Amino acid sequence: MVTAPEGSIGRVVIGAEELAQRVRELGAAITADYQGRPPLLVGVLKGAYVFMADLAREIDLPVEFDFMAVSSYGESTQSSGVVRIVKDLETDISGRDVILVEDIVDSGLTLRYLRQLLGDREPASLEICALLVREGAQTDDVKFFGFPIPPDFVVGYGLDVAEHYRELDSIMVFDPA
């Protein structure tokens, strides 16, 4: 039996209804910006998969999906400061309109790394859509974002700690023991 990490779930930071409304708004904004040029959505696994699935259904255009998996946290609640690719894209993105879909921008380290990596592959355009942006994080590169959040470690709606709590329908604070 797998046990949850030590700690507890705390207050709701963003509820399910608020998440759904903002995802609808982001889908409408992407639809308006990408008329005539259906985007390739590149989800950053595993955290962004719930957000990306909901977002794709709110974009009123044909979209294609691909995924990358990167790691900078491992099983910790603190970033290691080193980004490593666990799974790379299967799609050639050269000449494509690409939207990188992220669950959360914390320090911006992973985002900067992925923007450079994908930019070197010569897409026609590369934009960022992040559900959450940590207060104080660099957001200059984030064209579409859902919510600013405080420095608390959060879980739910795809976000986890040690692979737990992704299934929660709201964004909630995780308080380590």
Residues labelled catalytic: 106
Contact 158, 46 (CB under 8 A): yes
Measured CA to CA, the distance from residue 129 to residue 135 in angstroms comes to: 16
The DSSP line for the chain is: ---PPSEEEEEEEE-HHHHHHHHHHHHHHHHHHTTTSPPEEEEEETTTHHHHHHHHHH--S--EEEEEEEES-TTSSS--S--EEEE--SS--TT-EEEEEEEEESSSHHHHHHHHHHHTT--SEEEEEEEEEETT---TTEEEEEEEE-SS-EEBTTB-BTTBSTT-SSEEEEEE-
**Which amino acid, residue 42?**
V
Q: Scanning the structure block, which residue is given the tokens 């008329």?
A: 35
